[in-house]
Amino acid sequence: MKAIMYTRYGGPEVLHIGQVPDPQPRADEILVDIKAAAANSADVRLRSLDAPGLLKPIIRLMNGWNKPRNPILGNVYAGVVDSVGPSVSEFKPGDRVYGSTGMKIGAYAEKIAVKASGSVALMPENAGFEEAAALPFGGQTALYFLRKAGIQAGDPVMVYGASGAVGTMATQLLKMHGAVVIGVSSAANHELLRSLGADHVLDYTSEAFEWDATRYALVFDCVGVLPAKKAKARLRPGGKVLTVGGLDVAAETKSDLQDLSKWFDAGQITAVVDRVYPMDEVVEAHRYLDTKRKRGSVILTID
């Protein structure tokens, strides 16, 4: 099968199309023909080792010190079940599924074998493959961190980096639970944030952001760059700061995917897709990711 591969760390140019053997599913696994995969910040970190502090050596230890142990990136996919192992009853060939692979990665390929009991679920009925692939990374990450916050209806929440994959999902999920959402992004993305339900928007480069006097129940840094001191200064008593930029890695669960499917089909959330690239344009896709200007998700179509 074709796969997008990298055999050394570096810039987007290390990515190339290669041929690898088809995966052989085990008894408890399903084989998925991948139609779309998300290209996200986790892929950039694994490809480039561009990670702060202790995260860089941790990535090397887990993924290979001098070169990647697994040459196929990609931790989010959407596709069609090709076959199922003999002990699998939850899925059948032809099912449209989507999921996340965690550190196993491997979704930048035509096929992937995953455990049926893992983070894989039926796609939303109303979603295309590109939309489905845009939901898990931001959705599961946002759900994981927002559960820790214990936000109540009416609580003011700052979503910093609100226009990215995690931020767009966090904005929508917080509004579902009645929070007052202040989305922080560049001015160019303010209309997007309003369309997702943000109550107020702030430009992170503006004086209005610097002088914002709101006392927040939660400051959620979705991009991991807001200084902790600056974030804590904006909290009300008992408020929390949560960030995706630390060592806390979001859990990826089947139940979260099932919830995301339900909410998508009910029209409570939407998938934000910025750009779509065919797999043979993966270098261009990663060059765009490196600008750190994407809105929502960047998707690779796999053929």
pLDDT in tens, 159-178: 999 999 999 999 999 999 99
- Say if residue 128 is in the same domain as residue 26: yes
Provide the domain limits for residue 207.
137-243
Query: Which CATH number covers residue 173?
Result: 3.40.50.720
Burial of 76 (0-12, 13-18, 19+ CB in 10 A): buried
Structure token pair of residue 263: 């909410």
- Tell me how far CA of residue 210 lies from CA of 139, 173, 218, 237, in angstroms: 29, 26, 17, 20
185-231 pLDDT, tens digit each: 999 999 999 999 999 999 999 999 999 999 999 999 999 999 999 99
Helix (H) or strand (E) holding 185: strand 180-185
Query: Which CATH number covers residue 101?
Result: 3.90.180.10
Position 227 in a domain: yes
Position 255 in a domain: no
Beta-bridge partners for 122: 97
- Say if residue 6 is in the same domain as residue 131: yes
- Say if residue 275 is in the same domain as residue 129: yes
If one counts the domains in the chain, the total is 2
pTM of the model: 0.95
Within 13 Å and on the Cβ side, how many CA atoms surround 171?
A: 29
- Say if residue 119 is in the same domain as residue 35: yes
CA-closest candidate to residue 143, choices 264, 252, 268? 252
- Flag residues of the chain having pLDDT under 70: 247
- Say if residue 69 is in the same domain as residue 121: yes
* pLDDT recorded at residue 248: 78
CB atoms within 10 A of CB 145: 21
Position 85 in a domain: yes
- Say if residue 173 is in the same domain as residue 92: no
In 3-state terms, what secondary structure has residue 284?
Answer: helix
